Structure 1
């Protein structure tokens, strides 16, 4: 079955790192180095995609000895990211504050739930592409994605939880899946939680029938003896590691994929010297063995873009997501 819309422009762009870490960038980075611990904010509770990115990158950078200062992981939940963005926006020019970002930085403002969008902050680097995954409890009656979709059509009140706000990433991903399967996208009973961790807690507590979340953040809860079972993943091909046994949507007859890009942004008007330092830091991180091991375990795909390229990509994403939200009836045309 063919999707009535696609999340256009979300395919990972894998760029050669060598082309992005030239001498000019290195010279700029030499002009500034952090003088104290760097606040690295995950705009949600522990356990979600932002939190996983923040803690994984911070750990690899520390273990590989790439930075002279510690990257301190800090969780600031609320509003699908809006609470953290409002705090960060007030700290203009601070070179010692970063935050993890992904599609909600565009989707939440488009839905009118935040006055701050990507244009208020400084793009630093896009790092990876993740994918959506649909989970149920291990004792669930739903054995595959088709059975869950059929139940969604027959029982409109059947609830699917996610770790992002209404109209944001997990909601859009689930709505697109439903639409591709022939259901009403706007009719999905999506229940928002403040992060992937809270969504999983509610799944295990029986408060929702299924959860849609990032495959990377779910990978640690899958495998032998797991209390959850994965029904499908939104990647075009099967992922590696513990996710290798999870069939794609397309394998199950639903012609739909959804990519979740993730990256890093900084405070408004971050000094260019600090941006150059962080660009080089994350580019070096992506070349380490420690990163390769973590990335493969989480099912991520490298998709590096430097600050300028990431900024242009975010502008394009705003246009494309605006079209998708309009098609789904989640914002006015």
Structure 2
């Protein structure tokens, strides 16, 4: 009997110790996990992807991010930028699928991430990447050669109303994507009919050569991000007819470009840009980048770069960015449907 009591006491005691140790172990794991998430930082060189050729808006944005993070010593590992042009961003989007679960690859994207899916160019969408942070708002500018017969944006619209084939428009994005859609949305607001919009010639130069094509006379007008054509505007070889912001932006040459609204066309078009990781990026890495990019957005270095490029700072963390993408995707659906370009 005594032996049974001793064994019973021993088992109860052992069970209590086991429960206590298990509880400590569980609490310790959670604490360790939280600490690991907080302490996360990239340990090796990162692959910073610009989904288009050198010199374009994505390229400029990613290089600005890499430079600022390096100059401010927020990130200590190398951050070389790799250009992966093609498919309006679709080539890079497919590449990100190969990096599923990785914390070492980051890409910049903007409106085309949504548009190339909505127009049927790729089955992949914003749901196939991991939002990290929204960073800036850029705007489209419509420019012509300095000796062009078109002196105002309304001259261009009047010509399109008479003959939609009379103005050859070009841009660095794919047909049906950002540069194309921005121009069509402004043209629609200017009174160009849907049937005429469908017949406007748009030529895509995804290698970033649209500015050179304009100066070479191969297109009549370029629709592009401000940063993409900074050189030809500052040299005076091209003249900005309109910018799609609700107010003049930037400084110097940029600030001289009038808005479409100033010229009686009630339209704006914002080209947001943000950073993304591959699908399934570890949560600790997502949190790290969301927080780090917020700190970067508050630095004087970043503010100065944005001012130089005519970008508005519009930071949103990963959670808010995800909500923004869902809403914006719905907005683009409506816009594409109204001009007959939504893939159904």
Residue 181 of structure 1: aligned partner: 190
Residue 109 of structure 2: aligned partner: 101
Residue 71 of structure 1: aligned partner: 79
Q: Is 1:156 the counterpart of 2:164 in the alignment?
A: yes
Relative to structure 1, is the Cα distance of residues 72 and 187 closer, same or farther in structure 2, using a 3 angstrom cutoff?
same
Counterparts in 2 of 1:81-120, with a 5 A limit?
81-120=89-128
Contact 2:145–2:238 under 8 Å retained in 1: yes
- Please give the per-residue CA displacement for 1:104-123, whole angstroms capped at 9, x wherever unaligned: 11100111111211101100
Counterparts in 2 of 1:1-333, with a 5 A limit?
30-157=38-165, 158-184=167-193, 185-195=197-207, 197-223=208-234, 225-242=235-252, 243-331=254-342
Relative to structure 1, is the Cα distance of residues 29 and 298 closer, same or farther in structure 2, using a 3 angstrom cutoff?
farther
CA–CA distance in structure 1, aligned partners of residues 105 and 159 of structure 2 = 45
Structure 2 unaligned runs (5+)? 1-33
CA–CA distance in structure 1, aligned partners of residues 176 and 49 of structure 2 = 22
CA–CA distance in structure 2, aligned partners of residues 142 and 136 of structure 1 = 7
- Please give the per-residue CA displacement for 1:166-220, whole angstroms capped at 9, x wherever unaligned: 221111111111111111332322112215x221121111110010011233334
- Aligned with 1:326: secondary structure? helix
- Please give the per-residue CA displacement for 1:49-100, whole angstroms capped at 9, x wherever unaligned: 1111111111111111110112111100111011111111111011010000
Contact 1:217–1:298 under 8 Å retained in 2: no
- Aligned with 2:80: secondary structure? strand
Which gives a bigger RCO, structure 1 or 2 (Cα 8 Å, sep 6+)?
Answer: 1
Contact 2:211–2:232 under 8 Å retained in 1: no
Give, in angstroms, the shift of residue 332 of structure 1: 5.1
Worse overlay, 269-278 or 238-247:
238-247
Structure 1 unaligned runs (5+)? 1-25
Root-mean-square deviation over aligned CA pairs: 1.6
CA–CA distance in structure 2, aligned partners of residues 117 and 198 of structure 1 = 26
TM-score (norm 2): 0.85
CA–CA distance in structure 1, aligned partners of residues 326 and 303 of structure 2 = 29
Structure number with higher helix proportion: 2
Worse overlay, 274-283 or 263-272:
274-283
CA–CA distance in structure 1, aligned partners of residues 102 and 80 of structure 2 = 15
TM-score (norm 1): 0.88
Relative to structure 1, is the Cα distance of residues 240 and 28 closer, same or farther in structure 2, using a 3 angstrom cutoff?
farther
- Aligned with 1:213: secondary structure? strand
